[in-house]
């Protein structure tokens, strides 16, 4: 698992760099991150309902937050520094 993928996904999403986000979707080893990016980009490009696009964006951001926080060694609610 490459922790930089989460930072890149957050950065590309914030800067609206959809091409780079698509490249990250293909290259990342995290299948869930890839699937969340895919769902968001599909909704952004093809969905007419803005609420669905917003939900997909929040799903992606929530997963990035969860994965990046848990990947840095959180155990039982305590942040572990190594």
Instruction: Give the 3-state secondary structure of residue 73.
Output: coil
Total of domains in the chain: 1
pLDDT of residue 18: 96
pLDDT of residue 1: 62
Instruction: Give the 3-state secondary structure of residue 82.
Output: coil
Q: Is residue 81 part of a domain?
A: no
pLDDT of residue 70: 77
Q: Is residue 37 part of a domain?
A: yes
Phi and psi at residue 2, to the nearest 5°? -100, 110
78 sits in which H/E element: strand 78-79
Chain centre to alpha carbon of residue 22: 11
- Domain holding 63, by residue range, is 4-72
- Per-residue tens of pLDDT for the chain, all 82 residues: 688 999 999 999 999 999 999 999 999 999 999 999 999 999 999 999 999 999 999 999 999 999 988 766 555 555 455 4
Q: Is residue 49 part of a domain?
A: yes
Q: Is residue 20 part of a domain?
A: yes
Q: Is residue 22 part of a domain?
A: yes
Q: Is residue 65 part of a domain?
A: yes
pTM assigned to the model: 0.83
Q: Is residue 79 part of a domain?
A: no
Other C-beta atoms closer than 10 Å to the C-beta of 23 total 13
Q: Is residue 80 part of a domain?
A: no
């Amino acid at each position: 698992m490459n922790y930089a993928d989460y930072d890149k996904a957050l950065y590309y999403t914030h800067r609206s760099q959809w091409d780079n986000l698509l490249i990250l979707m293909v290259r990342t080893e995290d299948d869930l991150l890839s699937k969340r990016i895919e769902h968001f980009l599909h909704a952004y490009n093809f969905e007419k309902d803005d609420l669905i696009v917003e939900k997909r964006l929040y799903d992606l951001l929530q997963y990035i937050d969860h994965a990046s926080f848990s990947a840095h060694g959180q155990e039982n609610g305590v942040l572990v520094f190594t």
